[in-house]
Structure 1
Amino acid sequence: MKKLILSVMLAACAAFTAKAQTLSFGVKGGLTISKLTQFNDSKVRPSVYAGGFANIAFTESIALQPELLYSGQGTKYEPLNQTITYRLNYINIPVMFQYRIVPEFFLEAGPQLGFMVAGKTHAGKVTIDISDDTKAVDFGLGFGLGYQFPVGLGVSARYMFGLTNVFERSLDDNKNSVAQIGLFYTFKHQHTASKKRKR
């Protein structure tokens, strides 16, 4: 199933790219603030995200942006005055539909497919690998906004909420809840399909 979903997402991105007016690439990174829903007395866990993206613009206002990101997620809780940290690390593939209200400011929303690469719990000096207890694939939805300066540098914020349970065997719906805030940079080199056809 995960291969089918990924194949569909990649095929859709390829189809949209063929119709793009402008194609540009960039890098991004920043802070993640995450927790798990329905987790007893859970607290947020701060971490980082980093990766790259392709921006496929169809008009001056509408674009599609697939991304490939490393994301540190998880949660904390404190039973009996002891802090236990769940560190869940993912490779995420969000595909965001963007709408630019003005050239500098945009809104975005779209699905995300995540692949668990490492899952551990930490309590004091004790570390336990919980990768076998977590689901390999996480599916979610997100929405956000951003502002891009003329030099290519921008700032963005996004909230992603999971639709699948993180753990293989759990009576509760422990789903990812992740806020991101960070910087991105779009490289100035761009390919315009309409200009290519005129040559």
Structure 2
Amino acid sequence: MKKYCFILLLLITVQVSAQDFYLLPKVGLGLSNITNNDKGNNSTRPGFNFGLGTGLIWNEKVGIETGIYYLMLGNKFSTDYISYTAKLDYLSIPIYAKGYVYKGLFLFAGPQFGFNVVRDDGRDEDCLSDIDRVRKFDFSVGVGAGYQWDFGLQLSASYNLGLIDAWKKYPEEWSASGKRCNNIFQFNIGWTVGF
């Protein structure tokens, strides 16, 4: 499915003028967490994200952007007896609608599809780990805002709200307090290369 979406985007690009298509390499910082964990012992996991986006500007006010990014998600957990970091890293493909509000200021929103590439909780292998129960697919909705300068620099901030449970099955010791979804605040810097 993702291949068809990308091919469709490329075909649409061929029919627009060259200045409306751009590439956008980006890097940034993410602060991720997992919903419905023990709030007293749970904290955010900082991590980097990076990747390459591509976009299409239909007119002065509306555009679409997609790409592929590496996101470091998960959280930190600690008590008096145990401390570990759940590392759930994903290759992520967002499909964002963009609205250009005023000069270089823009807003964006849309779905994001994630594919798990790292599952590690940092605990000893002697322990029974729940990390093997992590889903390989993640789905979220992202919203954000940014600013694009004429010379190419772009800054953005966004929040991704996870919509599906990150785990296939809960470990027996977890309470049934609701879905455990990946959420992340992202702060990115990028450089737009127009064609």
Give the shorter-chain TM-score range: 0.7 to 0.9
Q: Deviation string for 1:6-60 (max 9, x for gaps)?
A: 3564355346435544111120011000000011122100001000111111001
Match of 1:122, SS state, is: coil
Counterpart in 1 of 2:22? 24
Name which of 18, 35, 38 aligns with 1:37. 35
8 A contact 2:113–2:137 mirrored in 1 = yes
Cα distance in 1 for residues equivalent to 2:8 and 2:95: 10
Cα distance in 2 for residues equivalent to 1:133 and 1:50: 26
Cα distance in 2 for residues equivalent to 1:130 and 1:13: 38
What amino acid is the match of 2:48?
Answer: V
Cα distance in 2 for residues equivalent to 1:132 and 1:26: 34
Cα distance in 2 for residues equivalent to 1:20 and 1:65: 15
What amino acid is the match of 2:66?
Answer: P
**Correspondence 1:96-107 to 2 at 5 A:** 96-107=96-107
Structure 1 residue 67, shift from structure 2 partner: 1.5
Structure 1's 15 and 162: CA in aligned 2 closer, same or farther, altered over 3 A? farther
Name which of 166, 170, 182 aligns with 1:176. 182
Q: Percent same amino acid among aligned pairs?
A: 25
Cα distance in 1 for residues equivalent to 2:16 and 2:63: 9
Cα distance in 1 for residues equivalent to 2:113 and 2:12: 18
Unpaired stretches in structure 2, ≥5 consecutive residues = 171-175
Cα distance in 2 for residues equivalent to 1:132 and 1:19: 45
What amino acid is the match of 1:117?
Answer: V
Counterpart in 1 of 2:58? 58
Structure 1's 130 and 56: CA in aligned 2 closer, same or farther, altered over 3 A? farther
Structure 1 residue 146, shift from structure 2 partner: 0.5
What amino acid is the match of 1:150?
Answer: D
**Correspondence 1:101-140 to 2 at 5 A:** 101-123=101-123, 126=124, 132-140=132-140
Q: How many corresponding residue pairs?
A: 183
Counterpart in 1 of 2:78? 78
Unpaired stretches in structure 1, ≥5 consecutive residues = 191-199
